[in-house]
Amino acid sequence: MTLSGLRTFVAVVQARGLSGAARVLGVTQPSVSVQLAALERACGVLLCHRKPEFTLTDAGTDVFVRARLILSRVDEFENALDHLQSASGRVSVGLSTPHVAMPLLAGFRAAHPEIRVQVSMGNTSTLLEDVARCRVDVAVMSLLKPPGHLLCVKVASPRLAICLRADDPLARRRSLRPADLAELDVIAREAGSQTRALFDETLARAGVTPRTVMEVGNREAMREAVAAGLGVGMLFDNENGEDRRFALVPLQGVPHAPGVYAVALHESLGIPGVQALIEHLNARAGRPRGLRADGRALTRVT
């Protein structure tokens, strides 16, 4: 019994005869007859009467229903394979740190122009959920402690700094202590931001309660609030770019060394586009290439 035989039988039933099935399938009528006879031998029962007109036997009716079910599942499976094959030429990337990620993606696109990159934005907490729910293939984000159940490849090692207007007298300092911020108005990042979490922990360890005058939803809004003179903000030291409106002064007493990581599910390395991106990031950092498709080569955080 073969799938070809089942397809031929279904075509014969739907066309109400062998000649009609032959036209639909693009084969000769004798070929259809041979396939149908072979299926009947495999089933051990007569499936249809050919003359004086085409009719199904009771057994033929039962086989027809089951054959259609089998073929629908096969078609569903083939469609899924087609989707996987088309997905191999793209990778979806979520970003919380575009200033770090975009140069990396530019290098990746130069090395793999055949792979289409789809980009979305979020903060660390939302991106971790996006990775877990397969809404993005890879996320580039700041992490204080990379989760052990995910593949995490470090791509940058920033330091926490205070964002000040360039004309602020404190901008001339080489570093600031948490106590220096006690009397300053602070523009805070949103909950879920790793920048905010590290800032809050640093001040709490020093026994300083920040005077938060505004909470904003992203890095850009915080920078514009600082530029408008509403207070000081918090950034990692690689987040200012060439904007001369601001000065970034390192904050003392930071308890953790955060990193920017490319994060993915280990299982996602089975997607060629994802594996190509992870290998590119490893090669850029001087790590070995040639990861296994099942992710076993990266079973611990690197």
Per-residue pLDDT band at 101 (split at 50, 70, 90): very high
Other Cβ atoms less than 10 A from the Cβ of 212: the count is 13
Asked whether the predicted pLDDT for residue 84 surpasses 90, the reply is no
Average pLDDT for 3-25: 89
Q: For position 243, what pLDDT does the model report?
A: 86
Q: Crossing angle of helices 3-15/29-43, nearest 10°?
A: 110
Instruction: Go through the domains of the chain in sequence order and give each one's CATH number.
Output: 3-86 (1.10.10.10), 88-157+259-298 (3.40.190.10), 160-250 (3.40.190.10)
Asked whether the predicted pLDDT for residue 301 surpasses 80, the reply is no
DSSP state of 266: G
Average pLDDT for 99-119: 91
- Its pTM stands at 0.57
Bigger pLDDT: 89 vs 13: 13
Asked whether the predicted pLDDT for residue 302 surpasses 80, the reply is no
Bigger pLDDT: 241 vs 266: 266
The span from the CA of 227 to the CA of 92, in Å, is 33
Residue with tokens 């995910």: 150
Query: Residues 248-283: pLDDT tens digits?
Result: 999 999 988 888 999 999 988 878 889 999 999 988
Average pLDDT for 98-108: 91
Residue with tokens 């979806």: 92
